[in-house]
Amino acid sequence: MNADGPADRIENPWGERTPYGRGEAWPVRVDTHLADGIEPGEVERWAVSASLLHSNGDAMDIAVNEERIVGVRGRSQDRVNHGRLDVKDLYGWQANSSPDRLTTPLVRRDGALVPTNWDTAMSAIVGQARDLLSERGPSSISFYTTGQLFLEEYYTLGLIAHGGIGTAHLDGNTRLCTATAAESLKESFGCDGQPGSYADIDHADVVALFGHNVAETQTVLWMRILDRLAGPDPPSIVCVDPRLTPVARAATVHLAPRPGTNVALMNALLHEIIENGWYDEAYVQAHTVGFGELAQTVRDYPPEHAAEITGVPAERIRAAARLLGTTERLVSTVLQGFYQSHQATAAAVQVNNMHLIRGMLGRPGAGVLQMNGQPTAENTREAGADGDLPGFRNWSNDSHIADLARVWNLDTMQIPHYAPPTHVMQMMRYAEEGSIRFMWITGTNPAVSLPELARIRSILGDDRLFVVAQDIFHTETCQLADVVLPAATWGEKTGTFTNTDRTVHLSEKAVEPPGDARADLDIFLDFAHRMEFTDKDGAPLIRWTDPESAFEAWKVCSAGRPCDYTGLSYDRLRDGGIQWPCTSTDSPGTERLYADGQFFADPDYCESYGRDLITGAPFEEIDYRAMNPYGRAIIRAAGYQPAHEPPTEEYPFSLITGRTIFHFHTRTKTARAPELQSAAPEVWVEMSAADAADIGADDGDMVEITTARSAVQARLRVGGIRDGVVFLPFHYGYWDTPGGYQPDGAGRAANELTLTDWDPPSKQPIFKTAAANVRRVRDREERQVRP
């Protein structure tokens, strides 16, 4: 057992410091938590795995006794975490054996979901799919998946949707978390693929976090930063966040902009860097296109002007720009404060631009990390389960479609590529108007996680739509489904997944799933078999039968593409994570992309020709070739546009939603781990002291937050947050309330309040600009107060 007792890790989630200096190796610290009464020496066996409760990709071993999971231990030799674990991982494994697990399929009979067997459930799904295919065609069928299955499962699902059914309606809930990361990388580098590496933290002199509360979202990465801060030559921290997060408290410069104004802030930072000549002219000349347009655009954003828009004092913008502009080793990370806000892609791209014009790419301590929010989101993207084509193939490049058709042995016409893939918000719209009649939802809970929940519930509950929900617990979404399929999860099935910095891990089956629950891969293979999908020669479309053969098939598909897995194998991965691309069995993987200023942006190779950062309209091949014939990195500029729902007299606050360290997504797992549940049992709302005083409320009072959509009640926490901004965590739904899947009385889910709007280039919904009002309804002793 580690010196950090479990109770301490709720109190101090980041554990003890192990300080180190710039360029030194990050010391090992092994975090372990075992069930009460079990000592490490008593563990019968350990199974190799990595975290499935956040995107950091922390490697761990799963402890097994008597065919039950009894704990976890960080893997000391892994490049990502050097033995450390997130607090959610220390406790979250207990959810696997929760009595609430789904153990048998359910089908809707006379309005109620009743238990059934697999054959009945799968026959119902296949019957529905076949009928719709013959009556309404492939465009009536859709799939909505997650960032929490395994690579092998996404690749199989993508082939089923794109190749078997032939529909363009396949997306992942990565749309809500990393769509902007992917889009911003495509815009700047022509292709998805994380430029930087976590190891850049070891070398950085400035770490800049843009809308990224890393202390709660990727806690082990924050431990690495904290250990640098505690050592000699600590880096400076620049934090952009309207909340006084742990990152903001540790920051050298904290910028707290008004929600929805990130582009104005970024343009001012770039204005200062260019104006002061802090950019690398030789790098810009040799490796980029588009600098002139950027220089012209940001000329309109001197700090004083940006200060009016963002509410950040001009001198603080200058102080941040000086740090960003003069350091020789700059690491930037970006997450939901940018991705889920207005002008998401345009803002994230400006971070890439900062690195491009400063030549801060591809060397130790100089890198960009466009972060992910989920553990396997990278695989959703690279394997094509977010609607993009596998291997970062370009849907508007006919030779890429031909190549994919060769790999799949299909006619090119079978693979939909006539328009951009359908994003989930558009799918919901098609379901609402009745042209999508079938939605198979895997491992995600849109009835809590999508914006404007009353609308989402009415769509999922519409009789015209046949909903299949595949999950491990009976979520709000399952309760609205027509068929529920019980799935296996982490520790109960084998597969690989890839973290934010391209590190691929193997996660092995440690124990059997409960009851009749099945691995997602087996469910997909069963569906494909029953549907009798064939290739163009009449042979079965899917020829693999288990995780390892699926992985081998994926390797073939990835060959020659940026995310090349051909040098990897399950055997190699048992020893620890390896970063793609990895093209030979003796290659150690690739620590950093773009080390030589060469990008995946060649017109014949790139994943995307880009989109207009304001309108989201895709550019055509001819535009791209004219602009970027030699495949350089692309500097794209964008002016600030006001958000679509600014505060008004009636709704004077800006509502933003986000996470707490103790929960993941809609709490399906974390609320079933007693330590995590008791650490954050109920929804709350955060306001500044001045705003609380204005509405006459005290810490602990029950307040009601309203927007044009609906209302939610939550306890008030007076905290460090920009005046005029209100923060609600998004984890809390209704499965553990009397309402079941909807409010019974006052609303609890943050998404009752959010607006239906998305970033035009990335199609990521906007959760961080909604106009809201707040009023006190009860004091902390539950006494009603007069309005």
Partner 1 sequence: MNKFVLLIRLVHRAETKVASDMLAIGERHKTDHEIYHLTHDFARWSRRHVDLLAEAGQRHGAELDHADDDSSWLRPVREKASELFGRRPETGLVLLRDLRELHLDLVGLSVDWEILAQAAQGVKDADLLDVAQTCHPETLRQARWTNAMIKVISPQVIAS
Sign of CA dihedral 65, 71, 75, 76: negative
Burial grade of 615 (CB within 10 A; 0-12, 13-18, 19 or more)? exposed
Q: How far apart are CA 442 and CA 389, in angstroms?
A: 19
Taking CB under 8 A as the criterion, the residue among 302, 616, 739, 740 binding partner 1 is 616
Q: Toward partner 1, which CB reaches closer, 110 or 135?
A: 135
Q: Is 434 in the site for partner 1 (CB under 8 A)?
A: yes
Tokens of 655: 């509502």
Exposure b/e, 441-479, CB count within 10 A at least 16 = b: bbbbbbbbbbbbbeebbebbeeeebbbbbbbbbbbbbbb
User: From the CB of 343, what's the least distance to partner 1, in Å?
Assistant: 11
Taking CB under 8 A as the criterion, the residue among 466, 609, 758, 767 binding partner 1 is 758
User: From the CB of 45, what's the least distance to partner 1, in Å?
Assistant: 51
User: From the CB of 140, what's the least distance to partner 1, in Å?
Assistant: 5
Q: Is 97 in the site for partner 1 (CB under 8 A)?
A: no
Pairing label, strands 68-74, 59-65: antiparallel
User: From the CB of 362, what's the least distance to partner 1, in Å?
Assistant: 33
| Options 155-163, 429-437, 549-557, 699-707: segment touching partner 1 (CB under 8 A) | 429-437
Asked if 448 contacts 712 with a C-beta cutoff of 8 angstroms, the reply is no
Q: Could you please report the per-residue DSSP string of 190-258?
A: SS------GGGGGT-SEEEEES--HHHHSHHHHHHHHHHHHSSSPPEEEEE-SB--HHHHH-SEEE-PP
Q: Is 735 in the site for partner 1 (CB under 8 A)?
A: no
Q: Is 425 in the site for partner 1 (CB under 8 A)?
A: yes
Taking CB under 8 A as the criterion, the residue among 315, 433, 532, 571 binding partner 1 is 433
Q: Is 292 in the site for partner 1 (CB under 8 A)?
A: no
The amino acid sitting at 465 is L
Q: Toward partner 1, which CB reaches closer, 612 or 779?
A: 612
Taking CB under 8 A as the criterion, the residue among 27, 127, 137, 540 binding partner 1 is 137
Q: Toward partner 1, which CB reaches closer, 304 or 433?
A: 433
Q: Is 446 in the site for partner 1 (CB under 8 A)?
A: no
Q: Toward partner 1, which CB reaches closer, 451 or 562?
A: 451
| Options 371-379, 502-510, 614-622, 666-674: segment touching partner 1 (CB under 8 A) | 614-622
User: From the CB of 169, what's the least distance to partner 1, in Å?
Assistant: 9
Q: How far apart are CA 525 and CA 496, in angstroms?
A: 17
| Options 266-274, 431-439, 479-487, 702-710: segment touching partner 1 (CB under 8 A) | 431-439
User: From the CB of 703, what's the least distance to partner 1, in Å?
Assistant: 28
Taking CB under 8 A as the criterion, the residue among 435, 545, 648, 784 binding partner 1 is 435
Q: Toward partner 1, which CB reaches closer, 140 or 668?
A: 140
**Which of 453, 414, 421, 461 has the alpha carbon at shortest distance from 730?**
453
Tokens of 96: 């696997």
Q: How far apart are CA 209 and CA 262, in angstroms?
A: 13
Q: Can you tell me whether residue 168 is helix, strand or coil?
A: coil
Q: Toward partner 1, which CB reaches closer, 617 or 689?
A: 617
Q: How far apart are CA 505 and CA 579, in angstroms?
A: 9
Among all chains, which residue has been given the structure tokens 């390797």? 555
Sign of CA dihedral 522, 523, 528, 530: positive
Q: Toward partner 1, which CB reaches closer, 200 or 452?
A: 452
**Which of 196, 192, 290 has the alpha carbon at shortest distance from 607?**
192
User: From the CB of 590, what's the least distance to partner 1, in Å?
Assistant: 34
| Options 79-87, 241-249, 403-411, 607-615: segment touching partner 1 (CB under 8 A) | 607-615
Q: Is 614 in the site for partner 1 (CB under 8 A)?
A: yes
CA atoms within 13 A on the CB side of 130: 12
CA atoms within 13 A on the CB side of 615: 4
Helix axes 262-275, 303-310, angle to 10 degrees: 170
Q: Is 418 in the site for partner 1 (CB under 8 A)?
A: yes
Taking CB under 8 A as the criterion, the residue among 17, 68, 108, 136 binding partner 1 is 136
Quick note: the x/- pattern for partner 1 over 562-601, rule CB under 8 A, is ----------------------------------------
| Options 116-124, 309-317, 616-624, 774-782: segment touching partner 1 (CB under 8 A) | 616-624
Asked if 344 contacts 307 with a C-beta cutoff of 8 angstroms, the reply is no
| Options 131-139, 154-162, 486-494, 668-676: segment touching partner 1 (CB under 8 A) | 131-139
Q: Is 710 in the site for partner 1 (CB under 8 A)?
A: no
Tokens of 564: 């090349």
Among all chains, which residue has been given the structure tokens 């301490």? 8
Q: How far apart are CA 371 and CA 609, in angstroms?
A: 22
CA-based end-to-end distance of the chain:
53
Q: How many residues bind partner 1 (CB under 8 A)?
A: 30
Taking CB under 8 A as the criterion, the residue among 402, 413, 556, 617 binding partner 1 is 617
Q: Is 387 in the site for partner 1 (CB under 8 A)?
A: no
The amino acid sitting at 719 is G
Q: Could you please report the per-residue DSSP string of 760-782?
A: TTT--B--S-EEEEEEEEE-TT-
| Options 199-207, 303-311, 433-441, 554-562: segment touching partner 1 (CB under 8 A) | 433-441
Peptide bond preceding 581: is omega within 30 degrees of 0, i.e. cis?
Answer: yes
User: From the CB of 293, what's the least distance to partner 1, in Å?
Assistant: 11
Q: Is 300 in the site for partner 1 (CB under 8 A)?
A: no
Q: Is 736 in the site for partner 1 (CB under 8 A)?
A: no
| Residues of span 159-218 touching partner 1 by CB under 8 A | 168
Pairing label, strands 68-74, 32-34: antiparallel
Sign of CA dihedral 349, 653, 372, 546: negative
Angle (CA) 680-748-376 rounded to 5° is 65
| Options 613-621, 646-654, 708-716, 777-785: segment touching partner 1 (CB under 8 A) | 613-621
User: From the CB of 415, what's the least distance to partner 1, in Å?
Assistant: 14
Q: Is 131 in the site for partner 1 (CB under 8 A)?
A: no
| Residues of span 737-756 touching partner 1 by CB under 8 A | 756
One-letter-per-residue 3-state SS of 673-698: CHHHHHHCCCCEEEECHHHHHHCCCC
Q: Toward partner 1, which CB reaches closer, 559 or 617?
A: 617
Q: Is 341 in the site for partner 1 (CB under 8 A)?
A: no
Quick note: the x/- pattern for partner 1 over 618-637, rule CB under 8 A, is x-------------------
| Options 90-98, 103-111, 425-433, 731-739: segment touching partner 1 (CB under 8 A) | 425-433
User: From the CB of 461, what's the least distance to partner 1, in Å?
Assistant: 13
165 DSSP 8-state letter = I
Q: How far apart are CA 708 and CA 452, in angstroms?
A: 10
Q: How far apart are CA 495 and CA 548, in angstroms?
A: 7
Q: Toward partner 1, which CB reaches closer, 430 or 600?
A: 430
Q: Is 612 in the site for partner 1 (CB under 8 A)?
A: yes
Taking CB under 8 A as the criterion, the residue among 403, 471, 501, 757 binding partner 1 is 757
**Which of 335, 323, 325 has the alpha carbon at shortest distance from 298?**
325
Taking CB under 8 A as the criterion, the residue among 641, 646, 719, 779 binding partner 1 is 641
Q: Is 430 in the site for partner 1 (CB under 8 A)?
A: yes
The amino acid sitting at 76 is S
> What residues make contact with partner 1 under the rule CB under 8 A?
136-137, 139-140, 168, 418-420, 422, 425-426, 429-430, 432-436, 612, 614-618, 641, 644, 756-758, 760
